[in-house]
Amino acid sequence: MTDNDTKPRALTLLGLGDMGTALARTWVTAGHPMTVWNRTPGKAQALAAEGAAVAASPAEAVTANTLIVLCLLDDASIGAVLDGVDLTGKDLVNLTTGTPAEGRDRAAWAEERGARFVDAGIMATPSMIGVPEAGGYVFYSGSRALFDTHRTTLEVPAGARFVGEDPGYAALHDVALLSAMNGLFAGISHAYALIEGEDIAPEDLSPLLSEWLGAMGSFVGDAAERLTSRDFTTGVVSNLAMQVAAGGTLLRTAADQGVSAELIEPYLQLLKERLDADPAAHSGEDTAGAITLLRRGPGR
């Protein structure tokens, strides 16, 4: 069968938590013959009523189909579930969140067992699965041949973005985006804490925050260009010396408001570190120059 065939392909899904159940439901609804397995069998009942076959064991579920999708809690649970199961000739798609190193190790593990492998990082919540207008998608990396074979099936629950044959790259993209999100959430948390107890309603600050953060989105592309060119000084409109001075204002305001600065202080400290290292060289820089200080080791 080629990927252009319109007949929905059969697949197996291991793991019916919130995410696994949402994924399985979109495939069943789209007419894909599905075999599912979950450690706690009761979670498969609703899907069985919708047409999924429920396997009694991971081995039985894996035997049923070539395409095997994993959506378990973490990498350790994959080892627990598939230990001793024959994976020869199988195509494993791992939607379980993990680190890049876990993705690479799992790819080697799958290859040793005669299986093709792609790792994945889901950029969606369960409520966004099967809802194209919600904008969720999944990063994939590893075996390009596997991805091309099953792309149409993989795109049923959410959009698919292949980011390279290095099986660690899906997780690396996933973690990069989630890390940025956490920094954003930290800043938003600090902003709301600053106005707590004042005569400013969070609902009134909310649209201002959204608008401001949207306007600051241009930093993302600007920083990328500077990191590639290593030019941190051309066309700078908010220079580092000014940003460090303004950072002092942020910290003094936090103290005056009785708010811990623990969520914003590390970033402001990094900017100061960059400036102090060589004020003459760095005072006119863009803040993107401070990114170069973050790598503390050689990496893998």
Ligand X SMILES: NC(=O)c1ccc[n+]([C@@H]2O[C@H](COP(=O)([O-])OP(=O)(O)OC[C@H]3O[C@@H](n4cnc5c(N)ncnc54)[C@H](OP(=O)(O)O)[C@@H]3O)[C@@H](O)[C@H]2O)c1
Residues in the site for ligand X, rule: CB under 6 A? 15-20, 38-40, 43, 71-74, 77, 80-81, 96-97, 122, 125-126
Distance CA 26, CA 8 (A): 12
Between 84 and 298, name the residue whose CB sits nearer to ligand X: 84
Q: Cβ(127)–Cβ(152) under 8 Å? A: no
Between 124 and 271, name the residue whose CB sits nearer to ligand X: 124
Cβ neighbours of 213 (radius 10 Å)? 13
Nearest residue to ligand X, scored by beta-carbon proximity: 17
Main-chain dihedrals φ then ψ at residue 219, nearest 5 degrees: -60, -30
Residue 259's identity, in one-letter code, is V
Q: Cβ(122)–Cβ(95) under 8 Å? A: yes
* Radius of gyration for the alpha carbons in the chain, expressed in angstroms and rounded: 24
Between 125 and 260, name the residue whose CB sits nearer to ligand X: 125
Between 178 and 208, name the residue whose CB sits nearer to ligand X: 178
Distance CA 77, CA 87 (A): 16
Q: Can you name the residues that pair with 120 across neighbouring β-strands?
A: 140
For residue 103, what are its two tokens? 């993705």
Least distance to ligand X, CB of residue 144, Å: 23
Query: Chain-centre distance of CA 253, in angstroms?
Result: 34
Between 123 and 240, name the residue whose CB sits nearer to ligand X: 123
For residue 249, what are its two tokens? 């204002």
Closest to 120 in 3D by CA, of 148, 147, 153: 147
Least distance to ligand X, CB of residue 74, Å: 6
Closest to 22 in 3D by CA, of 122, 113, 121: 122
Least distance to ligand X, CB of residue 88, Å: 22
Between 138 and 261, name the residue whose CB sits nearer to ligand X: 138
Least distance to ligand X, CB of residue 71, Å: 5
> Which ranges constitute the DSSP H helices of 137-168?
144-154
Least distance to ligand X, CB of residue 75, Å: 9
Least distance to ligand X, CB of residue 202, Å: 24
Least distance to ligand X, CB of residue 152, Å: 22
Residue that has been written with the tokens 């401070």 in this structure: 290
Between 98 and 247, name the residue whose CB sits nearer to ligand X: 98
